[in-house]
Chains A and B, each alone.
Chain A
């Protein structure tokens, strides 16, 4: 197998008001024709890695090669091989979709006749033909992202960088974009995808690196990462936060990792689900704790991330205010679960009192 992207001990420190070590010795390799997911919260160094690999930013140390070419020494050559679609949808909103694609084609120094035809094809492939001659400011968020991706494909790049391609999109547009990306990979393009959505990495990437504070803290396939964590997640809902704290302490003994208490929910990963459930219930009973919900489920990448970094992916988004205000799929699930719980609560309280 040929390696398309190779990163070794990459370093980058931003000096300014405060020093930020964005890349602190990042290494990874991406095989040709695969989708590699770089997963991490805001500020973890994902975008910096992409900016270095796409020749926009110079690293302080280490090496980065695309198709064997050093991205800084052979920047001009690398630029002819790559495509970049960014999280900010860097398209010109005063131009029409077609004009944007043609501009990118011309700046890639492709023959005019090829550019004209390529724009027509791409607009068609991304369902933008009807909107092709409208200025981008009339586009929806999803349409803009599709055009951004189309612009990255004008020169038929061998290696494609997608920096948080679906951040801030509604679920429908996100799904549409995922389908497009899946088809791209079928065509043999190597894709490096950064994301803070575990669901996205799980669905699209064949290999993953989890990045946090400028370091790769885990690498593997989504399946192997989940397997490493433990076979099953035991999820217990308690009537009060106090009970949840006590339950957390009791369930710590069940799995390879400590339990995680979030409000009135306790989660712990275990190797043998049914056995752990029996032991857990007996222990809770002995302490006179009665759970409201008690579930066994498959671990998600969210759980992987949590156990690796000790913090949730959304937590940092909320703290540093860089989030775009949209809810992650997990936040949505959690909210829905809370609503369901509330609906069920009158009956439940009757039963337990």
Chain B
């Protein structure tokens, strides 16, 4: 082995406690960890492949198997379905935030981070930012798949992009929620099984796949105004027009509700996740 030189000439980083430089390091460390988390996604192409295949299967299943039995008046079922699929896909994808964090805790990499002069907040910010960027990719893929099976957004590009923005913001709030799950789980496998009981009822007791009017009346209240549904309805209004929701409400009504829910979730989840991270590490 060649000689190792470790002469202590450079004593680490310039040390500063100013607010501005702290903020600068928070941004730079978050970018470093975002890059690290995204690289990990590309290094496991199988995971990327199958996490894309699953929502595509849902599209095909509902479009061609169940769709014929579901009646939507204002628009074709495929137009009704796709905004729901988008929200379902990012919600299922948010589980990866919990798995990723649980894995980092389990493997001791967060221990190493704790001994580095980096920003404390960068671990959670880097994780949720990486998941946000991954969701952009997911929405692009799902839009292409949707168009291939007959999805025809009709409200113009700006409105469509506003819908995408709303989904991404909602997904970002969910990431923080699942960060709490990941930080509470003993390992990544448990993080995964802990996440699905939370995701399933919210995804399926919603406006995502079937018209709300087809549900029993005692279920309609919850199914209409829970955060997943509200986001789906807002996106549906923005992408295919307000009539497509079948609720008689305006686009603004749903968008405001969706934004309020998303803000409420962010305000609740972010401090909880930070506190959980502090006690766990």
Query: A residues bordering B, Cβ < 8 Å?
Result: 51, 54-56, 76-77, 79-82, 84, 86, 88-95, 99, 103-104, 106-110, 124-127, 135, 151, 153, 155-158, 160, 176, 179-180, 183-184, 187-189
Alpha-carbon distance A90/B108, docked complex (angstroms): 5
Alpha-carbon distance A81/B117, docked complex (angstroms): 9
Shortest 8 CB-CB distances between A and B: which pairs?
A80-B12, A109-B13, A94-B40, A90-B108, A79-B117, A88-B108, A90-B112, A107-B118
Closest residue on chain A to residue B113 by CB atoms: A107
Question: Is A95 within 8 A of B39, CB to CB?
Answer: yes
Closest residue on chain A to residue B39 by CB atoms: A95
Question: Is A80 within 8 A of B112, CB to CB?
Answer: no
Apart from A80-B15, A94-B44, A109-B118: 15 A-B pairs, beta carbons within 8 A: A76-B15, A76-B117, A88-B108, A90-B112, A91-B109, A103-B32, A108-B116, A110-B12, A124-B2, A126-B4, A158-B11, A180-B4, A183-B1, A187-B6, A188-B7
Which of B13, B25, B118 is the most central at the interface, judged by chain A CB atoms within 10 Å of its CB? B13
> For window 64-85 of chain B, which residues contact chain A by CB distance below 8 Å?
none
Question: Is A95 within 8 A of B40, CB to CB?
Answer: yes
23 A-B residue pairs with CB within 8 Å: A55-B115, A56-B281, A79-B12, A79-B115, A79-B117, A80-B12, A89-B108, A90-B108, A94-B43, A94-B44, A95-B43, A104-B112, A106-B28, A109-B25, A109-B28, A127-B1, A153-B4, A156-B9, A156-B10, A157-B6, A157-B12, A183-B3, A187-B4
With A55-B114, A109-B25 as known contacts, state yes or no: A184 contacts B36, CB within 8 Å: no
Question: Is B108 within 8 A of A155, CB to CB?
Answer: no
- What is the minimal beta-carbon distance from A204 to any residue of chain B, in angstroms? 14
- What is the minimal beta-carbon distance from B199 to any residue of chain A, in angstroms? 25
Alpha-carbon distance A352/B128, docked complex (angstroms): 75
In the assembled complex, which residues on chain A have CB atoms less than 8 Å from the CB atom of B28? 106, 109
Alpha-carbon distance A91/B108, docked complex (angstroms): 8
Instruction: Kindly state whether residue B280 has any CB partner on chain A within 8 Å.
Output: no
Alpha-carbon distance A107/B25, docked complex (angstroms): 9
Alpha-carbon distance A343/B44, docked complex (angstroms): 51
Alpha-carbon distance A299/B132, docked complex (angstroms): 61
Instruction: Kindly state whether residue B158 has any CB partner on chain A within 8 Å.
Output: no
Question: Is B108 within 8 A of A86, CB to CB?
Answer: yes
In the assembled complex, which residues on chain B have CB atoms less than 8 Å from the CB atom of A125? 1-5
Alpha-carbon distance A92/B17, docked complex (angstroms): 29
- What is the minimal beta-carbon distance from B71 to any residue of chain A, in angstroms? 46
> For window 36-94 of chain B, which residues contact chain A by CB distance below 8 Å?
36, 39-40, 43-44
Report which of A76, A80, A135, A180 forms a contact with B1, defined as CB distance below 8 A.
A180
Which of A80, A127, A160 is the most central at the interface, judged by chain B CB atoms within 10 Å of its CB? A80
Instruction: Kindly state whether residue B216 has any CB partner on chain A within 8 Å.
Output: no
In the assembled complex, which residues on chain A have CB atoms less than 8 Å from the CB atom of B281? 56
With A95-B40, A180-B4 as known contacts, state yes or no: A110 contacts B13, CB within 8 Å: yes
Question: Is A155 within 8 A of B15, CB to CB?
Answer: no
Instruction: Kindly state whether residue B8 has any CB partner on chain A within 8 Å.
Output: yes
Instruction: Kindly state whether residue B189 has any CB partner on chain A within 8 Å.
Output: no
- What is the minimal beta-carbon distance from B251 to any residue of chain A, in angstroms? 42
Interface majority SS (helix, strand, loop, mixed), chain B: loop
In the assembled complex, which residues on chain A have CB atoms less than 8 Å from the CB atom of B25? 109
- What is the minimal beta-carbon distance from A6 to any residue of chain B, in angstroms? 18
Alpha-carbon distance A183/B108, docked complex (angstroms): 27
Question: Is A108 within 8 A of B13, CB to CB?
Answer: yes
Instruction: Kindly state whether residue B14 has any CB partner on chain A within 8 Å.
Output: yes
Closest residue on chain A to residue B117 by CB atoms: A79
In the assembled complex, which residues on chain A have CB atoms less than 8 Å from the CB atom of B117? 76, 79-80, 107-109
Instruction: Kindly state whether residue B131 has any CB partner on chain A within 8 Å.
Output: no
Question: Is B14 within 8 A of A135, CB to CB?
Answer: no
With A94-B43, A95-B43 as known contacts, state yes or no: A104 contacts B8, CB within 8 Å: no
Alpha-carbon distance A28/B113, docked complex (angstroms): 26
Question: Is B4 within 8 A of A107, CB to CB?
Answer: no
In the assembled complex, which residues on chain B have CB atoms less than 8 Å from the CB atom of A77? 15
In the assembled complex, which residues on chain A have CB atoms less than 8 Å from the CB atom of B36? 92, 95, 99, 103
- What is the minimal beta-carbon distance from A163 to any residue of chain B, in angstroms? 10
Alpha-carbon distance A90/B114, docked complex (angstroms): 11
Closest residue on chain A to residue B21 by CB atoms: A109
Question: Is A99 within 8 A of B39, CB to CB?
Answer: yes
Alpha-carbon distance A14/B4, docked complex (angstroms): 38
Closest residue on chain B to residue A177 by CB atoms: B1
In the assembled complex, which residues on chain B have CB atoms less than 8 Å from the CB atom of A107? 29, 32-33, 113, 116-118, 122
Which of B4, B11, B113, B281 is the most central at the interface, judged by chain A CB atoms within 10 Å of its CB? B4
In the assembled complex, which residues on chain A have CB atoms less than 8 Å from the CB atom of B112? 84, 86, 90-91, 104, 151
Question: Is B12 within 8 A of A155, CB to CB?
Answer: yes
In the assembled complex, which residues on chain A have CB atoms less than 8 Å from the CB atom of B107? 88, 90, 93
Alpha-carbon distance A80/B25, docked complex (angstroms): 14
Alpha-carbon distance A176/B116, docked complex (angstroms): 26
Closest residue on chain A to residue B5 by CB atoms: A187
Report which of A55, A89, A156, A188 forms a contact with B11, defined as CB distance below 8 A.
A156
Which of B11, B112, B114 is the most central at the interface, judged by chain A CB atoms within 10 Å of its CB? B112
- What is the minimal beta-carbon distance from B107 to any residue of chain A, in angstroms? 7
Closest residue on chain B to residue A137 by CB atoms: B43
Alpha-carbon distance A86/B116, docked complex (angstroms): 13
